[in-house]
Structure 1
Amino acid sequence: MDYKNHFDFMKNRNKFFIASIAILIIGLIVLVAMNLNYGVDFKAGTSLDINVGQAVTKEKVDQTFEGAGVKPAITTISGNNDHISARFDTILSEDELKKVSTAMTTAFGDKVSQEVNTVSPDIAKELGYKAMLAVAIASVAICIYVSIRFEWRFAVAAIIAILHDAFIVIAVFAIFRLEVNLPFLAAVLTTIGYSINDKIVIFDRVRENLRFSRIKSSEDLSNMLNASIWQTMARNINTVITVLIAAVCLFIFGSESIKLFALAKIVGLTSGAYSSVCIATPLWYLLKNKSLGSKTRAAAVKE
């Protein structure tokens, strides 16, 4: 099939690069100025999950906490409006926890049950360190795998693209001040996994096409890459849509505790599908084209 009349991804690569760089710069500025909105998992504090056994309003819940003498940083009501999630930026003492329990029981009856999760400053720092370590190890392992299976140019392009995807998710959460917690970290790591899968599919087709193509110029290389992208487009779209449907359903129908995980997945999957075609492949094109130019100059010198 002739793919010359299809959209030329290589020709428009600079537009994709500029769009991605713009988003990343905005996210970086927000990160430097305001940092991420860390949840209780990554900073010291207390979280309370309270089941009151009846439908409640946020106004009534806020009044109850005020009566107990404490004020949560974030309060959400989920389920059948009978489940309260409260996040505190400080570690509540045993006396404060008893006051909250007493106030809830007084306001909503004896069916109230309360679960307490507390993160100390040391644990918060350790979790933050291990989160960065997990992303770094995953990235290095992927780089080694792609280098062994393909070549170093594929590995460089893939690692830049998956780090782009991870940072896009981080940038979105930073810009919109969404809470960053352990489920968010899980979403970033799974985003890296799905992202590299998309790239491997395209790179595998590129490697196959290289065997049967006579690449003598930049135009030949560009045409081969565009053909490879369009040959795998249907498979990539079907794969991404399948997972996106599950992530969207989790976001719409899931509980409050899983909504941000689902949102991070949606952003990551979308970014991964985009970067596979518009970032990773053009990056490989630039690296390979440079090598192609070097070989052409070397041949000219010999002649």
Structure 2
Amino acid sequence: MTTVAAPTRRRGLFATLGDIYHERTNFNFIGRSRIWLGVSSLMVAISIGALLLIGLNLGIDFEGGTQWEFSVASGNPSSTQVREALKDTPARDARILTLSNGGVRVQSSELKTADRELVTQALSNYSKVDASAISIVSVGPTWGEQVSQKALIALLFFFILISVYLTFRFEWKMALASIIAVVHDIFITIGVYALTGFEVTPATVVAILTILGFSLYDTVVVFDKIKENQSTLGREKGDSYSSMVNRSMNQVLMRSLNTSFIALLPVISLLVVGSGILGAVTLRDFSLALFVGLLVGAYSSIFVATPILVILKEREPRFRALRDRSGPSVSAVAVESVVLDEENVMPAATPNPNDQRVTPRARQSRRGKRR
């Protein structure tokens, strides 16, 4: 008889979500760590390329200069018309931005008082509003340098704090993995600003510091579960550090998803309602950085920090020995994603037409003849 396996069925979306909610998943996170790290490396490379080739659209708080902001008396403003109005002024090469609330923002390098008044009068003539109704802000280059230095000092201070905390709370390898994940988040968030051309303001820096704290929190949640399960490592046959980490990540998956989803709801409100509907540019600068950072931070805590931790830890003799004794790596033995989980069906037996029935031979009596 030849045994033929019956076709398998894939689980539905609601069954998958139910397994995630009840922490019954067995996603193969570590087995696919090369894919996750490859995707992250590609995103970081694109971000660095955008920073080098395109650069950041820094606001006057960082570069210094003069900014005019006004609204036209009637109609909709146009960047082309504003530039035409400024063609005979020292601000002919100024950066012009039309706002969603019908306003216009003009930014140029630092100008003398007489030149600023000339630009203000040209904008007043274009907008048909009084010159006193035009908002003017001037920031010197020294102030811009101070803001940039303070932003870099704040980031450096943050890195030092998280390194010290995670080293004492866990160990230095977890601290190193966390820092790499945080740097990953910074590069991608800044890369999005370079690609989109959105202005980088002090509100953007505040948002980046906020998302770094969230990313660190999500990473600590995962590492805390890994540390808890590490105490039982080696009690089961075939267990390794990779399989233990994979099990830990599945256990905290629901909590991580819930935290990210709840945090994204108010940020989406700020981004859509605050900047899109109300036209608050400051809210847009803040909410965009938060939105991108929360998404990237949730990704990096699972798909960047944890695989890097496994690479560092399995270089230790103890965990390397466990990996060698466990046989195939977790990528070979871990169950596939729950989305691809299958309900096993008992194999059905089908007759083979080439099989031939064998008739048993008659048993001969061993009793000899009686003489």
| Alignment match, 1:92 | 111
CA distance in 2, matches of 1:108, 1:4: 66
State the shift of 1:32 in Å. 3.2
Residues 1:131 and 2:136 aligned together: no
What amino acid is aligned across from residue 46 of structure 2 in structure 1? Answer: I
Question: Do structure 1's residue 282 and structure 2's residue 307 form an aligned pair?
Answer: yes
Q: Do residues 12 (structure 1) and 28 (structure 2) align?
A: no
Query: Is the Cα–Cα contact under 8 Å of residues 217 and 292 in structure 1 kept in the other structure?
Result: no
Residue 159 (structure 2) pairs with residue 159 (structure 1): no
C-alpha distance 174-110 of structure 1, shift in aligned 2 (>3 A):
closer
Q: Which has the larger radius of gyration?
A: 2
Query: What is the alpha-carbon distance in structure 1 between the residues aligned to residue 238 and residue 142 of structure 2?
Result: 54
5+ residue gaps, structure 1, are none
Structure 1 residue 260: Cα displacement: 2.9
Post-superposition Cα deviations, 1:211-237, rounded to whole Å, max 9, x if no partner, equal 334368985322221222122112211
Show CA shifts across 1:168-220 (max 9, x none). 11222223443322222112211111100100111111122223343689853
Cα deviation digits, residues 115-151 of structure 1 (max 9, x gap): 3222322332332222222111101111111111111
Q: Which residue of 2 aligns with 1:175?
A: 195
Runs of 4+ with >6 A deviation: 1-5, 215-218
Are the structure 2 counterparts of residues 5 and 23 from structure 1 closer, same or farther at C-alpha, using a change threshold of 3 Å?
Answer: same
Change (3 A) 1:62 1:56: farther
Instruction: State the identity as a percent.
Output: 28
In 2, Cα distance between equivalents of 1:247 and 1:5:
29
Q: 1:259 is matched with which residue?
A: 284
* Pairwise CA distance, 1:97: 2.4
Structure with the larger helix share = 1
Letter in 2 for 1:70: A
The two structures have a TM-score, normalised by structure 1, of: 0.85
State the alpha-carbon separation in 2 of the partners of residues 22 and 87 from structure 1: 34
Distance 1:201 1:114 in 2: 50
**Structure-1 residue corresponding to 2:6:** none
In structure 2, stretches of 5+ residues that fail to align are 1-18, 326-371
User: What CA deviation, in whole Å up to 9, does each residue of 1:84-112 have, x standing for no partner?
Assistant: 22221x11222232233334444423496
Distance 1:247 1:65, change over 3 A: farther
- Which residues in structure 2 correspond to 1:109-258 (within 5 Å)? 109-110=129-130, 113-214=133-234, 219-253=239-273, 254=275, 255-258=280-283
SS in 2 for 1:8: coil
What's the CA shift string for 1:144-175, capped at 9, x where partnerless?
11111111121111111111111111222223
Quote the residue 2:366 is aligned against.
none
User: Residue 41 of structure 1 aligns to a residue in which SS?
Assistant: helix
Q: Give 1:74's match in structure 2, choosing from 78, 95, 109.
A: 95
Q: Could you tell me whether the CA contact under 8 Å between 2:241 and 2:319 is conserved in 1? A: no
Q: CA 1:94/1:238 → structure 2, altered by over 3 Å: closer, same or farther? A: same
TM-score, L = length of structure 2: 0.71
Q: SS where residue 57 of structure 1 aligns? A: coil
Higher relative contact order (CA 8 A, sep 6+): 2
Structural RMSD (CA): 2.9
